[in-house]
């Protein structure tokens, strides 16, 4: 079974007080998602049309990122950074490398190899 998409969680607490009628309440933050690789931080064009912040701006404190049409190169660490004025917070999420076919087929050492045996019982009614 191939995973088609993944959601990377990122939430923040909004301490900015805005009038309830203000549509910009919570939208004054700058959000930056980055894919952190061995080569450094990358914001690549290959993510265009494959990523979205699924709940933002409807839930202004939820900037979780959905990556669709997953590729092997998408595995790794992602950093979510939320900035408001001079204050900045960040967190990371991991997209694990998908297992190879060989890894999926091998039983885990802790799992004993079992075989289902079906038995048939015949009852004679007289």
Evaluate if residue 125 carries a pLDDT over 90.
no
Residue in this structure with the two tokens 């050492």, named with its chain if needed: 109
Neighbours of 8 (CB within 10 A): 21
Mean pLDDT of 95-121: 55
Confidence of residue 55 (pLDDT cuts 50, 70, 90): very high
Confidence of residue 104 (pLDDT cuts 50, 70, 90): low
CATH class of 5-13+28-104: mainly beta
Q: What is the pLDDT of residues 11-47, one digit of tens each?
A: 988 766 555 555 554 457 899 998 887 666 666 677 8
Ordered by start, the domain boundaries in the chain are: 5-13+28-104
- Residue 118: helix, strand or coil by DSSP? coil
In whole angstroms, what separates CA 55 from the centre of its chain?
13
Q: What is the pLDDT of residue 60?
A: 86
Mean pLDDT of 66-76: 89
**∠ Cα 101 79 47 (to 5°):** 60
Mean pLDDT of 69-91: 90
Helical ranges in 1-126 per DSSP H:
101-105
Q: What is the pLDDT of residue 13?
A: 85
Contact 65, 50 (CB under 8 A): no
């Amino acid at each position: 079974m191939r995973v088609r998409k993944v959601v990377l969680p990122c939430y923040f607490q909004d301490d900015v007080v805005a009038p309830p009628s203000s549509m910009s309440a919570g939208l004054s933050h700058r959000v930056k998602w980055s894919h952190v690789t061995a080569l450094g931080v990358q914001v690549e064009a290959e993510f265009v049309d494959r990523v979205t912040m699924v709940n933002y701006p409807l839930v202004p404190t939820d900037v979780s990122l959905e990556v669709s049409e997953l590729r092997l190169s998408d595995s790794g660490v992602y950093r979510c950074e939320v900035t408001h004025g001079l204050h900045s917070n960040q967190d990371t999420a991991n997209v694990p490398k998908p297992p190879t076919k060989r890894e999926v087929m091998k039983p885990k050492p802790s799992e004993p190899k079992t075989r289902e045996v079906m038995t048939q019982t015949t009852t004679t009614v007289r």
